[in-house]
């Protein structure tokens, strides 16, 4: 049913992604699908790395841990943006086509007042992606 699962992650909040990662791992195992872990980082130094390469290495380590945990193929796709706070949703939408995802599995928080005015990353992607989107709370 699914062959390529894209899982957007924010490594700053990786401790809150457990449910979504478990869903992705189980679905990947069930269908023999691969997982592409994508994350949007900045070109300037941050807590996730001083360089884009450090950011990519950190994401690769995260992907390697998932590969070991679920025994499925996991690829790391670091995405770079000038301003990740502004460009994350657009970069994730482009990544869906880039990786050829037929399913996106995203962690999300419970919607609050702000989401009634502006879509969250997950809300926007669920509304606009051409593939299936599973938002996990």
Distance CA 31, CA 33 (A): 5
CB atoms within 10 A of CB 135: 16
- Could you tell me which residues come within 8 angstroms of residue 91 by beta carbon, excluding any fewer than 6 positions away? 40, 79, 81, 84
Residue ranges per domain, the chain? 30-83
Q: What is the pLDDT of residue 117?
A: 45
Beta bridge partners of 37: 7, 76
pLDDT, residue 42, reads: 87
* Consecutive 10-residue averages of pLDDT for the chain (137 residues): 96 92 98 97 79 94 97 97 92 97 88 50 90 95
pLDDT at 5: 98
Residue 113 has a pLDDT of 45
Evaluated on CA atoms 43, 121, 71, 16, the torsion sign reads positive
pLDDT of residue 110: 59
């Amino acid at each position: 049913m699914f062959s390529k699962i894209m899982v957007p992650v924010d490594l700053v909040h990786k401790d809150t992604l457990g449910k979504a990662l478990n869903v992705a791992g189980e679905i990947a195992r069930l269908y023999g699908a691969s997982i592409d872990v994508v994350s949007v980082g900045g070109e300037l130094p941050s807590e996730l790395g001083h360089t884009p390469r450090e950011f990519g290495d950190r994401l690769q380590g995260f992907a390697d841990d998932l590969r070991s945990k679920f025994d499925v193929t996991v690829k790391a796709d670091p995405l770079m943006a000038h301003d990740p706070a502004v460009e994350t949703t657009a970069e994730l939408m482009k990544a869906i086509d880039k990786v050829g995802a037929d399913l996106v599995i995203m962690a999300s928080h419970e919607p609050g007042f702000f989401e009634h005015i502006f879509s969250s990353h997950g809300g926007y992607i669920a509304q606009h992606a051409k593939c299936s989107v599973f938002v996990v709370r």
